[in-house]
Structure 1
């Protein structure tokens, strides 16, 4: 529920005592606090126009604020680009200067920004963007523009930093109104009588036909809406007002009002439910395997002491086949290596986020840390691939080394490059600039790839893991299996439980990725990742044990596919999310959504597959090391 501008004044005092109690999150500020003197200029920066996730999301294309079709007011001499991190650029931020003049502690009313002229051709473009719920984004002293909201379930007051509407199409859907006046409320904290700090930024837009015939001064309170005509050219004013509201919130806690977790009970319910599932699953699997396997091992090792010769059955029959070279061992080792690379990247990034090192004041810090971790953990992929390939008995180490360093990065970069071409064709600001692409390629070729090579040689130095049993010279015949143990059926069934442990949190992650919502529930995300990893490992070991009991010894690829089976359900869930929460109006937006969804599912497949394969290998190694083979 959004609070009106009039309610802001009445709630301003109350919010100073309520907002600090909204959360106890800890973070390290990314910038030093700035003290303003009375009358000192406060810079206002503008960011891209992005679609807002209200009832449904209508587009995935963002636009530069100074796109010539919008005809916004620009500073004299042109807008200046502001320095941004690599992650901020990748996530679509394009921060520029603006002509707004705001001075600390100086309120102003109906200030004329400029007179804008919109031709009829561009009026249709703007009206279409209003119908698609596009929002503007201001940045003042590092804080995003927001609107004060009240959570309908918890009744907590928070600041929604999704942006503010370009226009209004709810009153008259056939003829949307353009918001051309902005009421800007700046919350400040007084350190003393002379020094002030910005601790909150609220912007409430409204539409007003402020141009009066025969007058050069705008009338911001005439109550008439501004509708852009698509038949004639349009002339109107852009105006703004500024009000300063005192707040008791200290500068170090100013982000607490933005870090609002929607419906935390759902997060807790999902997490507790997942913990119960994984606890029950681990306990049942441990009991079944312990009782069954320990009994089998005892009987198997005591055969020569029995009066009667006991015939082997189940998993014991395939002890001479279980470590046989699987088909396409090179590809399997490359996938395991890249999967472990991604696992390490996720763990370290989540740990940094969990302890508050990724401050929201550093825009794009999450993406930057992800990119840095991916770059410097290239050695993990090389090491994991080398030892896996050696253990599988592979001998062509040179092609394996090259594929480990370039195969999956090349696939990911190719898909992203193709999607970037669609963004360029749509004149979207989210298109990655050539300089950024070159910087990422240099990180890949100059740092990540050499580290992958170094990790590979280090893995070769350690060599293969020692298998506890020898491989027989003649392969056994494989009997028919139940339908649920066949490769693809087992992979799809095995992916249900890991996906079930994460699907609630997945909704918030997708809303953050595609709905321009900030995600800060890293504690829930870290615990969810841990639960999913344990569930994936346990389910994969259990399925592979059943497969071995069915005398099917070709477990290597099955273990990887079962571990990565949750990716299938992630993609299916993404399709459901597209059908239920999105209403994408353009072909480009649909291509972007399914392209990013494919990448998301692919990375999940590699992460889950590597966890499943590694857990299964060491479980099988421990299992067959417990029996006596003559």
Structure 2
């Protein structure tokens, strides 16, 4: 009972540290101070579909200056520097013609040097289609995203929802006037931006004079798909003094809907872990203890049978499994993913992955994945050598290229679909070359170095000798057969994470910020424990049933949770999305497949090594003639 209390205390202590980490801003990011009248730049980002309270209808982002939108372009268009992760997630940030000056209110300004934009009928169809799909305009002012003020229906609390609507989805009206309100904080006679909200509206100006005064007489603006449309873009600016400090300016953006759900998720996961821990403890403390005691009896008694139960398979349990090359390569890739995930979550919990650094999470994950190529090589080599593998060159090559090549191939295929859709999410050729460069110049050499150290190490000693002739495996009961046992084993790890998975998928597809890394870290710890315990539990049952083919079974048992994640993504698609286009469907299921595959390899590796440690321990504890 005391161990359970200490486990719970540890989890909640980590959560306390992680929530406190939110109060500190990312080290190295300094606030920008403005003088009165100083220009505050407005940067524009890709247009993305919004989910809001409605279902998502597309997953394809578009460049703000994509020609069919006909937004006003500055005299000198300049792209802004972006991180690798930001580019991969479809960000395309440019300067804009908006002119905002600190503390200078502006009731009405007209965009574009020519003052009027003509939208042809064909482009009007494109814009109306994006309005019906609830696309949002995304701006950045002093690094803060322009937001719409929303209200949480459960708590009635106001929060900032990133982006604002391209148009009125219900009435198909284009928003061409923007009321910009910027909150600022005074600091030592300087001023800092601490909040940006935009209220868009639709206004049909009949001429330039009306646009200049922001006084429309034509009502609202609906784009005609039969003839060209004359559109004036206007905006107003209001500056508002705020008590919000610069260090906490992201708090309004990081709104958590019903935090009790996260707590329920955590409690649900802990209950699963405690249940499995109790089951495993019962086996280890009772059944195994009795088994080992009986196996090690040295007094000759007629009623004592030396060989029964799992001891019967001692001569086969360390027999090399089939397809050892593939298994060792997958285990190497899984170890690489495990270390990448662990270190990334540690950095995130400590507050080093601020949302102000766009794409920082993805960038850090990619960098750590490349750096831990050495772990992949070392792990794969050790496993392969232990089971007597001799094709070491092939092992090194496959470890460095097989799994990354599968992911990269899917990525390139999905990129072609984005290119065909003329989406800003299409990764430029230069970025693809940069990724290939990281792969070949960092990951592959480190993998080779790790393999070199792995093959130089002596084989992992087996506690028992392996018989030359394989033992026949008796018929297994239904629930211990491969497919049923894998499906049963995969349910529990998935059950430990599925609620948090919902919020992560909302963040990925709904353009929301996920910043509850404290919960994510604890769920990952619980996932690791659950995968280990459920695999050990089923492994013990299989050994007692004289089935010694544990290697692939252990990998696939916990790895089956990846299958459940893909099934969950199908349910999410059917219930939360209203996607009809082929490109969006392919993109969604392509990335869902990648996520499920990576989760399969990660959890499978955790299950395998937990089972390996368990089997070595129990067979080292018995005496075998």
Range of TM-score over shorter length: over 0.9
Picking from 256, 260, 268, the partner of 1:265 is: 260
| Counterpart in the other structure of 1:14 | none
Distance 2:208 2:423 in 1: 37
Are positions 1:177 and 2:173 aligned together?
yes
Distance 1:570 1:222 in 2: 54
> What SS does the corresponding residue of 1:467 show, helix, strand or coil?
coil
Are positions 1:191 and 2:190 aligned together?
no
> What SS does the corresponding residue of 1:589 show, helix, strand or coil?
helix
| Counterpart in the other structure of 1:109 | 107
Change (3 A) 1:353 1:428: same
> What SS does the corresponding residue of 1:155 show, helix, strand or coil?
coil
Change (3 A) 1:258 1:265: same
Distance 2:21 2:299 in 1: 67
Moved more, 276-285 or 331-340: 276-285
Q: CA deviation at 1:303?
A: 5.2
Distance 1:132 1:313 in 2: 65
Change (3 A) 1:565 1:46: same
Are positions 1:434 and 2:429 aligned together?
yes
| Counterpart in the other structure of 1:132 | 133
> What SS does the corresponding residue of 1:47 show, helix, strand or coil?
strand
CA RMSD between the two structures: 1.6
Distance 2:206 2:407 in 1: 52
Change (3 A) 1:218 1:232: farther
Q: CA deviation at 1:325?
A: 1.0
| Counterpart in the other structure of 1:49 | 47
Is the CA contact 1:25–1:256 (under 8 Å) kept in the aligned structure 2? no
Distance 1:526 1:276 in 2: 17
Is the CA contact 2:92–2:424 (under 8 Å) kept in the aligned structure 1? yes
Distance 1:160 1:624 in 2: 57
Are positions 1:296 and 2:295 aligned together?
no
Moved more, 478-487 or 39-48: 478-487
Is the CA contact 2:150–2:160 (under 8 Å) kept in the aligned structure 1? yes
Moved more, 456-465 or 44-53: 456-465
Q: CA deviation at 1:287?
A: 1.4
Distance 1:22 1:228 in 2: 49
Distance 2:382 2:582 in 1: 44
Question: 5+ unaligned residues in a row in structure 2: which ranges?
Answer: 1-18
Q: CA deviation at 1:338?
A: 0.5
Are positions 1:406 and 2:362 aligned together?
no
| Counterpart in the other structure of 2:62 | 63
| Counterpart in the other structure of 2:571 | 576
Is the CA contact 1:567–1:604 (under 8 Å) kept in the aligned structure 2? yes
TM-score between both structures, scaled by the size of structure 2: 0.94
| Counterpart in the other structure of 1:4 | none
Is the CA contact 1:160–1:258 (under 8 Å) kept in the aligned structure 2? yes
Question: 5+ unaligned residues in a row in structure 1: which ranges?
Answer: 1-20
> What SS does the corresponding residue of 2:425 show, helix, strand or coil?
coil
Q: CA deviation at 1:288?
A: 2.1
Q: How many residues align?
A: 603
Change (3 A) 1:243 1:527: same
Are positions 1:167 and 2:167 aligned together?
yes
Change (3 A) 1:295 1:565: same
Q: Following superposition of structure 1 onto structure 2, how do residues 243-322 of structure 1 map, counting pairs within 5 Å?
A: 243-302=238-297, 304-308=299-303, 310=305, 312-322=307-317
Distance 2:398 2:516 in 1: 36
| Counterpart in the other structure of 1:523 | 518
Q: CA deviation at 1:463?
A: 2.6
Is the CA contact 1:273–1:501 (under 8 Å) kept in the aligned structure 2? yes
Q: CA deviation at 1:284?
A: 1.9
Q: CA deviation at 1:464?
A: 2.0
Distance 2:292 2:545 in 1: 17
| Counterpart in the other structure of 2:388 | 393
Change (3 A) 1:262 1:296: same
Q: CA deviation at 1:312?
A: 2.0
Moved more, 246-255 or 235-244: 246-255
TM-score between both structures, scaled by the size of structure 1: 0.93
Distance 1:106 1:579 in 2: 48
Q: CA deviation at 1:166?
A: 0.3
Q: CA deviation at 1:465?
A: 1.3
Moved more, 209-218 or 30-39: 209-218
> What SS does the corresponding residue of 2:212 show, helix, strand or coil?
coil
Q: Following superposition of structure 1 onto structure 2, how do residues 550-561 of structure 1 map, counting pairs within 5 Å?
A: 550-561=545-556
Q: CA deviation at 1:149?
A: 2.4
Is the CA contact 1:199–1:249 (under 8 Å) kept in the aligned structure 2? yes
Distance 1:26 1:299 in 2: 58
Is the CA contact 2:295–2:622 (under 8 Å) kept in the aligned structure 1? yes
Change (3 A) 1:615 1:187: same
| Counterpart in the other structure of 2:461 | 466
Is the CA contact 1:43–1:101 (under 8 Å) kept in the aligned structure 2? yes
| Counterpart in the other structure of 1:484 | 479
Alpha-carbon displacement from aligned partner over 1:342-369 (angstroms, at most 9, x marks no partner): 0000000000000100111111110110
Q: CA deviation at 1:240?
A: 0.4
Is the CA contact 2:178–2:235 (under 8 Å) kept in the aligned structure 1? yes
Distance 1:378 1:224 in 2: 61
Distance 1:392 1:220 in 2: 80
Is the CA contact 1:26–1:355 (under 8 Å) kept in the aligned structure 2? no
> What SS does the corresponding residue of 1:255 show, helix, strand or coil?
coil
Distance 2:352 2:210 in 1: 54
Distance 1:586 1:345 in 2: 34
Picking from 29, 33, 36, the partner of 1:35 is: 33
Q: CA deviation at 1:261?
A: 1.7
Alpha-carbon displacement from aligned partner over 1:287-322 (angstroms, at most 9, x marks no partner): 123211110111111155324451522211100000
| Counterpart in the other structure of 1:83 | 81
Is the CA contact 2:22–2:351 (under 8 Å) kept in the aligned structure 1? no
Is the CA contact 1:332–1:557 (under 8 Å) kept in the aligned structure 2? yes
Distance 1:29 1:160 in 2: 25
Is the CA contact 2:21–2:349 (under 8 Å) kept in the aligned structure 1? no
Is the CA contact 1:210–1:218 (under 8 Å) kept in the aligned structure 2? no
Distance 1:89 1:221 in 2: 39
| Counterpart in the other structure of 2:225 | 230
Is the CA contact 1:46–1:137 (under 8 Å) kept in the aligned structure 2? yes
| Counterpart in the other structure of 1:357 | 352
Distance 1:482 1:25 in 2: 55
Change (3 A) 1:223 1:450: same
